[in-house]
Amino acid sequence: MKKNKLRFGDIIAESYYPKEGNNGKFIVFCPGLPGRSNYEDIAKIYVERGCVFIHVKYQGSWESYGRFTMPSCRKTIISFVEGLMKGEIKDIFGSSFDMVPKELFLLGHSFGGSIVLSAGADLKLDGIIALSPVIDYRKQAKDPIIEEEDLTELFDFIKFGFENIYRGIDKSEWENFCKTGENLNPSDYTDKLKTKRILLVHGIKDDSVSYIKTKNFSKLLEKNGADVLFVETDDDHGSIKERPIKEVLSWLDLNL
Residue 96 has a pLDDT of 85
**Over pLDDT 90: what percentage of the chain?**
86
The chain-wide mean pLDDT, for the chain, equals 94
Range of weakest confidence among 28-42, 55-69, 94-108, 139-153 = 139-153
Confidence band, pLDDT 50/70/90 cuts, at residue 228: very high
Q: Does residue 244 surpass a pLDDT of 90? A: no
Residues 6+ away with beta carbon under 8 Å from 253 = none
Q: What is the pLDDT of residue 146?
A: 85
Q: Is the pLDDT of residue 36 over 80?
A: yes
pLDDT of residue 20: 87
DSSP code for 194: T
11-17/2-8 β-pairing: antiparallel
Indicate the DSSP class of residue 187. G
Instruction: Give pLDDT tens digits for 194-222.
Output: 999 999 999 999 999 999 999 999 999 99
Position 232: which residue type? E
C-beta neighbour count of 101 within 10 angstroms: 19
Residue 148 — very low, low, confident or very high, per pLDDT cuts 50/70/90?
A: confident
Fold of 2-251: Rossmann fold (3.40.50)
Residue 2, Cβ neighbours under 10 Å: how many?
A: 11
Q: Give the integer Cα–Cα distance in Å for 18 and 166.
A: 31
pLDDT for residue 131 is more than 80: yes
Average pLDDT score over residue span 225-229: 94
Q: In whole angstroms, give the CA distance from residue 171 to residue 102.
A: 41
CB count within 10 Å of CB 150 equals: 11
Is 180 strand, coil or helix? Answer: helix
Residue (of 52, 42, 45) closest to 20 by Cα position: 52
CA distance 28 to 42: 12
Distance CA 72, CA 60 (A): 9
Per residue in 67-86, pLDDT (tens digit) is 999 999 999 999 999 999 99
120 torsion bin: left (phi>0), alpha (psi -120 to 50), beta (else): alpha
Q: What is the pLDDT of residue 41?
A: 95
> What CA–CA distance (Å, rounded) separates 34 from 109?
11
The band of 150, judged by pLDDT with boundaries at 50, 70 and 90, is confident
Torsion of CA 171, 8, 91, 252, to 10 degrees: 80
Predicted pLDDT of residue 143: 84
pLDDT in the model for residue 45: 95
pTM: predicted TM-score of the whole model, two decimal places: 0.95
pLDDT for the residue 256 = 60
Report CA dihedral (80, 74, 196, 187) to the nearest 10 degrees: 180
Give residue 194's pLDDT: 92
CA distance 170 to 175: 9
Q: What is the pLDDT of residue 144?
A: 85
- Tell me how far apart the alpha carbons of residues 244 and 231 are, in angstroms, rounded to a whole number: 14
Q: What is the strand order of the sheet 25-30 is part of?
A: 90-91, 2-8, 11-17, 52-56, 25-30, 103-109, 127-131, 197-203, 227-233
User: Which whole number is the average pLDDT over 7-20?
Assistant: 95
